[in-house]
Amino acid sequence: MTAPIATVPHFDAGGGSPYATALRSGGGVLRMVDHDGAPGAPIELARFLAAADDADRSVLERADGAVLDIGCGPGRMVRAAIAAGHLSLGVDVSEAAVAHAHAQGLPVLHRSVFDPIPREGEWGAALLLDGNIGIGGDPTALLSRCARLVRADGTVFVEVHDDPRRDRAFRATLIDHEGRASLPFPWYELGLDGLRRRAVAAGLVLVETWSQDVRTFAALRCASAER
C-alpha cells in the first residue's frame, strides 16, 4: 500500500517550504544541499516557470505517442508536449506546483509516480528531466517503475548529471536566499555511467545519448523490445 504523499519525504516536504514559496512568488534561486550542509548547485526556478527551451524540445522530438512527465513541476514540459501534438499528463508531489499547472489549464495530477497512474503500460514516453532521476533516492526502483508505465516499445527519457561518473545517494534539503529550508528528503545524482548499470537492473536498454545546451540526455527502452 502506498503511503499518502503528505507522509513521504519529498522535494517540497514541509519545513519552510522554499520551493512552494518560490513558485508562488514567480521564481527565485534555491540550493539543494546534502545532510552535512555542503552547498549545492543553484536551482533556477525561472527555468521551470518559463517555456520549454531547445534542449527540452530535443527530448520531445524523439518522443512517440502519449507523454508522461514525472516530477513535472509547474508544467512546462506538459505544455510543450501538448503543443507538439502529444497527449500528455504530468504528476508531481508538490501541491504548489500542481496548483500552478492547474491555473494554466494543464493536466497534472497531485501524486507520486509510485501511486497508481492512469494508462499504466500505455505511455509512449516517460520523462525524468531536471535531475528527476533522483526522485525517491533509488534510481533502480524509479526506472523499474517507469518501465512498467510505458508501453512495450515506449521510451524512458532521462536527463543525467554532467559528470558521467556521478553516482551518489544523499539526504537533501532545499534552501532559499532567505534561509527557508525544507525537511530532509532522499535524493540521488546519477551520471551516464551509473545510468547504464541501473538501466540493466531495471530491465531497460540504453539506446541513445545526446547533449544540447550543456545538458545531457539518454533514451532507454525495455530490453524485451530491443531483442
Give pLDDT tens digits for 30-66: 999 887 666 677 899 999 999 999 999 999 999 999 9
The per-residue pLDDT for 227 is 56
For residue 121, the cross-strand partners are none
Q: How far apart are CA 132 and CA 106, in angstroms?
A: 20
Q: What is the DSSP string of 176-190?
A: ETT--BPPPEEEEEE
The per-residue pLDDT for 206 is 97
Where do we find the cell 518559463? 50
Beta strands in 54-106 (DSSP E): 67-70, 88-92
Measuring CA to CA, which residue among 80, 88, 172 is closest to residue 132? Answer: 172
CB 172 within 8 A of CB 117: no
- Per-residue burial over 22-37, b if 16 or more Cβ lie within 10 Å, else e, is bbeeeebebbbbbeee
The per-residue pLDDT for 3 is 43
Residue ranges of domains in the chain: 5-226
pTM: 0.93
CB 33 within 8 A of CB 40: yes
Give the amino acid at 219.
A
Q: How far apart are CA 29 and CA 39, in angstroms?
A: 13
Least confident of 6-15, 47-56, 189-198: 6-15
What is 5-226's CATH superfamily? Vaccinia Virus protein VP39 (3.40.50.150)
